[in-house]
Amino acid sequence: MPNFKLTLLATVIATMGLTSVAQAEPNEKWVKKRFAKVDTNADEMIDLEEYIAFRTRNGKGKIKGITKQFNKVTGDDDLLNLEEFKATLKNKKGGKKKNKKD
Ligand SMILES: [Ca+2]
């Protein structure tokens, strides 16, 4: 049944393709969705309170460290915009998945 094998192979390749997409760098749509979730008062900026709530939502994370990171990323306006939020996500990932195909 060569056709069956071929179909199976195609399915496996397609599944792998989808998996890679899902694990790739956070895309714009995903980041915006995430941002909207963190931005609980929907003013399109994340303030320290919202950021702490987001980072400690699993009961993990130290407020002192989170505040420090927040201040570092926001610069001088004490508010996190979409670009800065994206930067915090990238920092967290650390680019370790670069050679994941190996
Ligand atoms: Ca906000």
**What pLDDT band is residue 3 in, cutting at 50, 70 and 90?**
confident
Distance 80 CA to ligand 1 centre (A): 9
- Report the pLDDT value the prediction gives residue 95, as an integer from 0 to 100: 47
Q: Which domains does the chain have, with CATH numbers?
A: 26-96 (1.10.238.10)
Distance between CA atoms of residues 55 and 66, nearest Å: 7
Distance 76 CA to ligand 1 centre (A): 16
Distance 27 CA to ligand 1 centre (A): 21
The stretch 3-16 carries a mean pLDDT of 80
The stretch 58-80 carries a mean pLDDT of 92
Distance 73 CA to ligand 1 centre (A): 16
Distance 51 CA to ligand 1 centre (A): 9
The 3-state DSSP composition of the chain as helix, strand, coil percent (nearest 5) reads 70, 5, 30
**Model confidence pLDDT, tens digit, residues 20-60:** 555 566 689 999 999 999 999 999 999 999 999 999 999 98
Lowest mean pLDDT among 22-26, 40-44, 69-73, 77-81: 22-26
